[in-house]
Amino acid sequence: MPAPHVLILGGTTEARRLAEALTGTPWRVTTSLAGRVAAPRALPGAVRVGGFGGTDGLTAWLRAHHVAALVDATHPFAATMSFHAAGAAAAAGVPLLALRRPGWTRAPGDDWHDAASLDEAASLLPALGTRVFLTTGRTGLAAFTGHPGLWFLVRAVDPPEPPLPARAEVLLDRGPFTLEGERALLARHRVDLLVTKDSGGAATAPKLTAAREAGIPVVVVRRPPVPGGVPEAADPADALDWLAALAP
């Protein structure tokens, strides 16, 4: 009997850890990456890079490769792919699990300002600070180009897509980050405002602690809506339990 095939829609730490944990189990693993990171970390099992061509393309791939389980472990802000996954899983009759890390929660002393989008986040900046640490990723930076009087430190894994704010310094770096390092970075660049997406997880959370300690306000972009009715796991261990229940 061939090994059951699980497709992990990846690109996150949780996806990589799940693929690693499935090594030596009855499951045959394929991890799909969108291809937005130029040099992704090595993964066990098979790896495919690039889109599927929407819901129909993913449905066809699930059927052609005899996928027995689909795990959506994409980034919390990759909402379009999550909707494609829900539609394709339903069409192909494949069980679907969403592996989503919990969002961050406020701590005493936090000065957080919620925003529903990058555009709304940008509109809040002039009233909050002048030297902005921007950690929203390499795309969508055009939303921040309307404030020539502000200075931005843009941190991303790969070079960000233009246009960028007129006064911007780019810092290419990949987490996990340390609290000591984030403290030093904020002080070195005289940052007085942090902008981030609510990505959750521990790898990039130290910046929030460093901002709280320094009394720096934080603009937090809320997560987009996700498909309803999809079972969720908060960590790879829960996802392993779900897959173990499906394995023949």
Structure tokens at 58: 């993913």
Residues 217 and 232 reside in one and the same domain: no
The residue type of 144 is F
Checking 153-158 for CB contacts under 8 A at 24+ apart, the result is 153/185, 153/189, 153/191, 157/37, 158/36, 158/37, 158/38
Within a 10 A sphere around the Cβ of 98, how many other Cβ atoms? Answer: 20
Q: What is the pLDDT of residue 38?
A: 56
Residues 75 and 145 in one domain: no
Q: Is the pLDDT of residue 248 over 80?
A: no
Q: What's the number of domains the chain is made of?
A: 2
Query: Domain of 34?
Result: 5-100+225-246
pLDDT digits (tens, 9 = 90+) for 25-45: 999 999 999 876 655 677 888
Are 160 and 240 contained in the same domain? no
Residue 107 within any structural domain of the chain: no
* Whether residue 162 has a cis bond before it, omega within 30° of 0: no
Mean residue pLDDT of the chain comes to 94
What percent of the chain shows pLDDT beyond 90? 86
Give the chain's count of helices (H) and strands (E): 7, 12
pLDDT at 36: 65
Q: What pLDDT, on a 0 to 100 scale, did the predictor assign at position 129?
A: 97
In terms of C-beta distances under 8 Å and separation of at least 24 residues, what long-range contacts does 168-171 make, across chains too? none
For residue 66, give the CATH number of its domain.
Answer: 3.40.50.720
Query: Within a domain: residue 106?
Result: no
